[in-house]
Amino acid sequence: MFNKILIANRGEIALRIIRTCKEMGIKTVAIYSKADAESLHVRFADEAVCIGPAASSESYLNIPRIMAAVEITNADAIHPGYGFLAENANFAEICRQSGVKFIGPTPEMINKMGDKVTAKETMIKAGVPVVPGSDGLLKDVKQGIKIANQIGYPVILKATAGGGGKGMRIVNKDDEFEEAWDSARKEAKASFTNDGIYVEKYVVEPRHIEFQIVGDQFGNVCHLSERDCSIQRRHQKLVEESPSPFMTPELREKMGEAAIKAGKSINYEGVGTIEFLVDKFRNFYFMEMNTRIQVEHPVTEEVIDHDLIKEQIKVAAGIPISGKNYFPTMHAMECRINAEDVMKDFRPSPGKITSFHSAKGHGVRVDTHVYAGYTVPPYYDSMIAKLICKAQTREDCIKKMQRALDEFVIEGIKTTIPFHKALMKDEAFKAGDFNTGFMNTFDMDNCKE
């Protein structure tokens, strides 16, 4: 087992990782930027190293500075958390060459899943369902239009280096194709310095359902059931839950098997997520694989009663997994509490938190790095807390969430709590009747307090 883990991240996830390390008897090193000197991850770690100024490029994304912190503290492993360098194959490679264990998959696995066309080809070979579309990258507009007519409109153009919606365009007819192609390529080139584009059938009003998987160094891969992440806005998730209200035992069986095939096809090591699009007929298609721990991992932890960070550290240390799949025994839901003004188009609202009272009580979990008197810096992600509730049924879980949201007090800055309160009262949401288009029609006036 590792002696000392350096956490190459900040905020709630850094704190979350430190907690598990402590329970496992592993020493911890926090790194931080000058803007994060007051952050709890700095205080709770055994050691802390300031690695640079506020800008991420000079701190949390700066590989030489992080490797210097590894060297001076003698850490034998790095946990990257999510975001920042978590899916940076170059960073994983530098860790390998420096003899420090990157807690995550190999650079080869990260690269394979980071390129969407390669990932899709890998899934086809493994027998995982994918959305019908072009066989690899498109060469030109002419070829694109030909394929669009074969599969039928609407189609969607996607950047092979993409993810999170960048470089994506929906096309409804031949006339729209060229303009969409040009703008998708431009955006992809600007965002990823890679303008490779592919096309597939556009799945109308899909749900986003993802499977948590874990693989060890001996080729074993199992799944830990699903999370429904359909409540999103501009590709930012707002609420996640498990089980999905749309799931059936039969569908879970099929999707779980597909997720395991996906993991085994690349000999996956670590925790990962297989994202699927699911249409109203319960057809499902591989969308992307995330090769990291995700923000919403607590939802799975609560319904299967296992610590996923602990699983991650164990497999990285070469301990085999049990090899069995896990199924939800409870219902859990997570509301992301962001420092944002929901009535002003979710605009960031950084600043000093003047009072902070967390929701508490049975079945309530809050993962956060903030406290009364803390100043939310403007430089990073606006998520300041995750409120996770669990209960025997979805109905009780929503009731508990309503109670917890009413109890939660954050003053001094605007937060997304008013949105979550309104969502928990929405009839369609309560009925489990929603898809990824939900936020396009949600009446934000319901959030007025």
Note the residues at the interface with ligand MV4 (CB under 6 A).
131, 156, 163, 165, 200-203, 206, 208, 232, 235, 277, 287-288, 436
| 292 belongs to the catalytic site | yes
In sequence order, what are the residues at sequence separation of 6 or more whose Cβ sits closer than 8 angstroms to the Cβ of residue 372? Answer: 353, 354, 355, 356
In terms of CB distance, is 57 or 440 closer to ligand MV4?
440
Number of H helices, E strands in the chain: 15, 22
**Closest approach of ligand MV4 to the CB of residue 245, in Å:** 16
The CA distance from 443 to 449, in Å, is 14
The CA distance from 369 to 353, in Å, is 12
* Residue in the structure block whose two tokens are 């030489």: 64
SS3 content of the chain, % helix, strand, coil (to 5): 35, 25, 35
Helix (H, G, I), strand (E, B) or coil at 341: strand
**Closest approach of ligand MV4 to the CB of residue 436, in Å:** 4
In terms of CB distance, is 202 or 380 closer to ligand MV4?
202
Inter-residue contact 101 to 78 (CB < 8 Å): yes
Residue from 409, 381, 375, 403 nearest 390 by CA:
403
In terms of CB distance, is 191 or 232 closer to ligand MV4?
232
In terms of CB distance, is 416 or 436 closer to ligand MV4?
436
The CA distance from 274 to 288, in Å, is 6
Helix (H, G, I), strand (E, B) or coil at 269: coil
In terms of CB distance, is 50 or 439 closer to ligand MV4?
439
Choose, from 292, 336, 365, 394, the residue flagged as catalytic. Answer: 292
Distance, C-alpha 283 to centroid of its chain: 23
The CA distance from 271 to 290, in Å, is 9
The CA distance from 82 to 381, in Å, is 11
In terms of CB distance, is 288 or 311 closer to ligand MV4?
288
In sequence order, what are the residues at sequence separation of 6 or more whose Cβ sits closer than 8 angstroms to the Cβ of residue 310? Answer: 20, 23, 24
Tell me whether residue 348 is exposed, middle or buried, using C-beta atoms within 10 angstroms of its C-beta: 0 to 12, 13 to 18, 19 or more.
middle
In terms of CB distance, is 345 or 411 closer to ligand MV4?
345
Residues designated catalytic: 292
